[in-house]
Amino acid sequence: MIKIITTEDGSHSLYDEELNETYHSTRGARGESMHVFIREGLEYWLSKNQREEVCILEIGLGTGLNAFLTAQFAESRKMKVHFTSLEPFPIESQVYENLNFHTSTYEKELLQEIHKSEWEMEQVVTPFFKLKKTKTKLEDFSSDARFNIIYFDAFAPSKQPEVWSLENLEKCFSLLESGGALTTYCAQGQFKRNLAEAGFEVETLQGAMGKKEMVRGVIK
């Protein structure tokens, strides 16, 4: 059973009863996504690469919050984003239709578009944001395309250790272009060691919403 919860910054998240796990930090879903993925992922990469087009891979579409914020960022910067998101367990329409991420009708429609867009083929969501959703686990995912940034937003390693395996991180390394970056809210020791073993340069950064740490893995 999946329930909508309200986090401390007022934005919604979800609680998965079976896993006893939330989809975001209870200190703030929106604040966490903005910090970990938009600022320390997308804005960081753009500061190192002056490009007008970027390919992003997300591990775990979930509520669609990262896709939604990225689409808005793309529009504000007038830059093109190709966003691929893996989600083996999509949420139901009665859940996403009630999420409160929007502040306008346009934004409400944007989140609905993200969830309603067809699976397994790239769809034009806005003139700046193309989305390909795939109902695949990272463990089973393969792609000829290469990405610039990976938003690694799986459930915590204590809940889903298989997703954070060395093998999966090696796959992420091979899916990224040179200069690429992987960001995540997680700063667990074994994960950081696996990330380094997979070939990444590991940077431990200030975490989101008062959390001590988060991690970025960079391919130099």
Residues that bind ligand SAM (CB under 6 A): 23, 33, 59-60, 62-63, 65-66, 86-89, 137-139, 153-155, 160, 163
Question: Closest approach of Cβ 167 to ligand SAM, in Å?
Answer: 12
Q: Which long-range contacts (CB under 8 A, 24 or more apart) does 190-196 make?
A: 190/157, 190/164, 191/157, 191/164, 191/215, 194/164, 194/165, 194/166, 194/169, 195/169
CA distances from 209 to 27, 151, 181 (A): 6, 18, 22
Residue closer to ligand SAM, measured from CB, 87 or 113: 87
Distance between CA atoms of residues 43 and 41, nearest Å: 6
- Decide the pairing of beta strands 21-22 and 53-59: unpaired
Burial of residue 94 (CB within 10 Å: 0-12, 13-18, 19+) is exposed
Question: Closest approach of Cβ 62 to ligand SAM, in Å?
Answer: 3
Distance between CA atoms of residues 80 and 64, nearest Å: 18
Residue closer to ligand SAM, measured from CB, 3 or 48: 3
Residue closer to ligand SAM, measured from CB, 140 or 197: 140
Question: Closest approach of Cβ 33 to ligand SAM, in Å?
Answer: 6
Place of tokens 């989101």: 208
Nearest to 220 by CA among 175, 153, 167, 173: 173
Question: Closest approach of Cβ 63 to ligand SAM, in Å?
Answer: 3
Residue closer to ligand SAM, measured from CB, 120 or 201: 120
Residue closer to ligand SAM, measured from CB, 86 or 214: 86
Residue closer to ligand SAM, measured from CB, 89 or 179: 89
Question: Closest approach of Cβ 50 to ligand SAM, in Å?
Answer: 27
Question: Closest approach of Cβ 220 to ligand SAM, in Å?
Answer: 26
SS3 153: coil
